[in-house]
Chain A
Amino acid sequence: MTSELTRDQAGPTGVSVRLGAVVKEFETETGELIRALDGLSLDVAAGEFIAIVGPSGCGKSTLLNILAGLDRASTGLVEIGGAPARGPHPEAGVVFQSDYLLPWRSVLDNVLLPIEIKGLDRKAHVPAAEQLLADVGLAGFGAKKPSELSGGMRQRAGICRAIIQKPGLLLMDEPFGALDALTREQMIIDLQALWLRLGNTVIFITHGIDEAVFLADRVIVLSPRPGRIDLDLKVDMARPRQWAEAHADPEFQRCIGEVRRCFERRGVLHRAQG
């Protein structure tokens, strides 16, 4: 990804998201109702970068599935682009925790899958797909099978697939969770560049407090299950942010501290004794 800051003129502007008192309950095998989300309300402006952090099992993936149109809220309002969500939104791109590259397709054909599914001209999109792969350091890997790629490379190919159509809303569920620290850092920097270029809305779910604060305009902290918004924190730092410099920035440290305190209050994090 290039780090040019001019926004892509051809790209879409972001798609706004509004959640109003969203409740999601699952029925277990024994007939109990498990409440995963408990009255979540959230307004995401077009073009905003939102990071969502929360303890394991608090309903982050549940929320993402609802936003991706793969699941429906039990009650409450879900609006994407100003209209009630009904199924997958055509302007949304999703990156899951697992890369889900189809093993029988080449990397290039995997990136082109959304084009095929939408019935668009495959050939016309090949150059764009190859450019995207080159942007993430996968030039020349288009003809390879996913099994010939490393975990980080596969995740990058999965991101290319999600952004081939320049989605106005990019949904990401712990996309860098399985990566080594170096690859992760590079992907975080690349993601910021991509977002600056596309100007789209990003909802980024993560376990990493540092990557949340580094990337996001707003960090949303969810409580343990049932998921509720515990903290809605604005991160006031200029763009583009540099990874190493950001860590020394007082604003960065303040935000990290706020999120940590929020987790400590909830007993999600404990301070060392002594």
Chain B
Amino acid sequence: MARADQPAAAPGRGTDHSRAERMRRRRRIRTLEKLAAPVLGLVLLGIWELCVRVFDVSTFILPPPSAILLRLVSDWQLFLGQGVTTAIEISVGFAMAVLAGVIIALCIFYSRIVEVAVYPLLIALQTVPKVALAPLVVLYFGYGWGPKIFLAFLISFFAILVPTVVGLKELNPGFANLAKSMGASERQVFFKIRLPAALPNIFGGLKVGLTLSVIGAVIGEYVAAERGLGYLQLQANANFDTTLNFASVFAIALLGLAFYAILRLIEDLAMGKMR
């Protein structure tokens, strides 16, 4: 039956042409948008550089970005070595948080008793400032990998748990009923409906959790460490080496950005595959 809402099959050459034109314009705008943040970052660094030079600020108070970057490049082996330590702490702590956060979220979602018994306690615990626990963590876990990994884990665990629970609960039950009416098992309902529907929430939690993991690991290093970027920063502080201090901050930020980029990649893959 012929209907009005057939898609516009455009045989005309002119239409094709203008469509290609529109697509090209769209792509161009998207590339420009991708450049916006890096450009703004560079501009801010430029202003910083300019201010330091114009007002002749002492390097001890505020080194210019050029000096910081130079330090990063000249001492790259130092930063790489310390960075690997911090990266391992973040990775292990964050991976544990993802595992625990998602598994406990599933338990809370599927079991009423777990929900009423465990969820309120977890929410209450979430209000405890985790950073304040750092000295205690050292007391219990000593000076090795333990406290850094544990803090990276603890601080991001809640950030992952809560959005995952919310994402699972938010789904209109009609969707699950629809799948069940087709004879879907709960396993199928989960993988075909619930999980893909909750993915945006879950990845929102993962992104927040990841940045918190970076903070957790570095705090752990502030409190007790002989290695890592946080430790390097403390050393710089003690030696009044402000450039090294800033360079460590830059290195930590770069590390965080790298992790974030990896997570975004995984997100794109998961969204493409699951959904």
Residues in A lying within 8 Å of B, measured CB to CB: 1-2, 65, 68-70, 87-88, 90, 92, 94, 96, 98, 100, 102, 104-105, 113-114, 116-118, 135, 137-141, 150, 153, 190
* A117 engages B275 (CB within 8 Å): no
A88–B180 CB distance below 8 A: yes
5 further contact pairs, Cβ within 8 A, besides A98-B172, A117-B182, A139-B7: A70-B177, A88-B181, A105-B275, A114-B182, A138-B5
> 5 nearest interchain CB pairs?
A137-B3, A104-B275, A140-B7, A94-B181, A114-B182
Q: What are 16 sample pairs from A and B whose C-beta atoms fall under 8 A apart?
A: A88-B181, A90-B183, A94-B181, A96-B177, A98-B174, A100-B174, A100-B175, A102-B193, A102-B196, A104-B197, A116-B192, A117-B182, A117-B183, A117-B188, A137-B5, A138-B5
For residue A100, which residues in chain B have a CB less than 8 angstroms away from its CB? 172, 174-175, 178
| Cross-chain pair count, CB within 8 angstroms | 66
A153→B7 CA distance, assembly (Å): 12
* A118 touching B183 in the complex, CB below 8 Å, given contacts A70-B177, A100-B178, A104-B275: yes
Is the CB–CB distance between A88 and B183 below 8 Å? yes
User: Which listed residue (A1, A68, A69, A114) contacts B1, Cβ 8 A?
Assistant: A1
CA distance A138 to B197 in the complex (A): 25
Bound-state Cα–Cα, A95 to B171, Å? 19
- Any A CB within 8 A of the CB of B9: yes
B103 on the interface (CB 8 Å rule)?
no
Q: Which residues of B contact A65 (CB under 8 A)?
A: 177
Known contacts A100-B174, A190-B1: A70-B275 contact under CB 8 Å = no
Q: Inside 8 A of B175's CB, which chain A residues have their CB?
A: 100, 102
Residues in A neighbouring B9, C-beta threshold 8 A = 140
Please judge, given known A-B contacts A90-B183, A104-B196, whether A2 and B1 are in contact too, CB under 8 Å.
yes
Contact partner of B174 (CB less than 8 A), chosen from A87, A96, A117, A140, is A96
A70 pairs with B193, CB closer than 8 A:
no
